[in-house]
Amino acid sequence: MNYVERAFETSLTHINIASASDPGTLGMQRENAVLAILGAFRVSSKSVLQRHLGLNREAVNKLVNRMKKKQLVTLHSSFANTDKGFILLTSQGIREAEFLLNRELHLRSDSSRINERNLIHDLSVQIVILNLAKSQGITGFASEKDLSVLLESRGNDPRLVDALVVDADTGCTVAIEMETSNAKNKGNGKLREAILTKYLQELENINGLYEFVYMYSHRQRFLTQIEKAHSRLFSANRSQFSPDQQTLLTSRIKFKPQECNVIYELMFNSKRQLGDDKLELVRKDSYLQQLEELEKLAHTTEDRVIQIRRDGFIEAGKLMGLIE
């Protein structure tokens, strides 16, 4: 069993919280969930933990502070995300996480190893995977960190993707890719061609690392631009991709706009206030108003792009608990 297969087997251990009748057990489950999340992803934030555990801001602050007093985690200030900071495991926390997940994690507690330029991107990937885990859409996952261990930490290895998950319905291995920048999308056909070639190498290989690619972003238009870029590359007179390869890529690359609003709200909305219960009521009213406008627009125009946007907006509202 290689390192990624081991990650698939153990990654969901302790991440989802079971029902507990007494506060002590519930508190321990939450601590274990934080250890498991940090063990899998190396870094996290209060907003990510708050959403996954279903806590208010005060409760997640108490949870993190309690674990800090136990010398399991450390908090680090940063201007790279809306939380103004990130959370890491201490050396003791790493040992605890390795015990919980029953595998060596190849982690260090040194914050200087965190690339803050990629922090929002990495936390966005985390949101997607934790959502899939919570909804029981996957049976296991391997983070980019896990994959780099398998590939012997070769950061430029073309096989690296943002994460791998095992689909609960089909058992297929799926690559998760997150686009939080527009740099690769508009007017950069050569770069997208190289990315498609990378995917094709795995999709055509019977022993490839993944069988599908799911594309996520905080912006619907980023996903639309990528899809259009693929179409332009396939329709070019001298496309490097054969008709069979084009069919394979088109059928195996799936665009997932449902998470756009959730990712934007948690990772990119700098106006989002933290810890204000009254804000939730205001936010719900604003959400419902925007949803009503999207419903009208989708009905009157019958535009497919607007309908997809509306569907993603509805799904995001459900995930954030704003609608049922």
Q: In angstroms, rounded to a whole number, what is the distance separating the alpha carbons of residues 151 and 157?
A: 8
**pLDDT score, position 281:** 46
**pLDDT score, position 279:** 45
Hey, what are 57's tokens?
Answer: 């801001």
Q: How many CA atoms lie within 13 A of 71 on its CB side?
A: 3
Q: Please, is 83 exposed, middle or buried when counting C-beta atoms within 10 Å of its C-beta (0-12, 13-18, 19+)?
A: buried
pTM to 2 decimal places? 0.82
Q: In angstroms, rounded to a whole number, what is the distance separating the alpha carbons of residues 12 and 10?
A: 6
3-state secondary structure of 240: coil
Least Cα distance to 49 among 69, 68, 70 occurs for 68
Hey, what are 235's tokens?
Answer: 């329709």
Q: Give the class (CATH, top level) of 138-259.
A: alpha beta
Mention every residue, 6+ apart, whose C-beta is less than 8 A from residue 321. none
Q: In the block, which residue shows the tokens 């990510």?
A: 48
Q: In angstroms, rounded to a whole number, what is the distance separating the alpha carbons of residues 183 and 253?
A: 20
Q: In the block, which residue shows the tokens 């297929």?
A: 172
Contacts 24+ apart (CB under 8 A), 67-71: 67/31, 67/34, 67/93
3-state secondary structure of 212: strand
**pLDDT score, position 270:** 74
**pLDDT score, position 320:** 61
- Residue pLDDT tens, the chain, 324 long: 789 999 999 999 899 888 767 888 999 999 999 999 999 999 999 999 999 998 988 999 999 999 999 999 999 988 888 888 999 999 999 999 999 999 999 998 888 778 888 999 999 999 999 999 999 999 999 999 999 888 876 556 778 999 999 999 999 999 999 998 876 665 567 889 999 999 999 999 999 999 999 999 999 999 999 999 999 999 887 788 999 999 999 999 999 998 998 898 889 887 766 654 444 544 666 777 788 888 888 888 888 777 777 777 777 776 666 676
Q: In angstroms, rounded to a whole number, what is the distance separating the alpha carbons of residues 231 and 248?
A: 13
3-state secondary structure of 208: coil
Hey, what are 122's tokens?
Answer: 């990495």
End-to-end CA distance of the chain: 41
Hey, what are 5's tokens?
Answer: 């297969």
Element (H, E) at 8: helix 3-10
What is the DSSP-derived secondary structure letter of residue 111?
A: G
Q: Do the strands 173-179 and 163-167 form a parallel or antiparallel pair, or are they unpaired?
A: antiparallel
- Greatest alpha-carbon pair distance for the chain in Å reads 66
Hey, what are 317's tokens?
Answer: 């509202």
Hey, what are 249's tokens?
Answer: 């890529």
Please answer whether residues 163 and 4 qualify as being in contact, where contact means their C-beta atoms are separated by less than 8 angstroms. no
Q: Tell me if the domain spanning 3-115 has CATH number 3.40.50.1220.
A: no
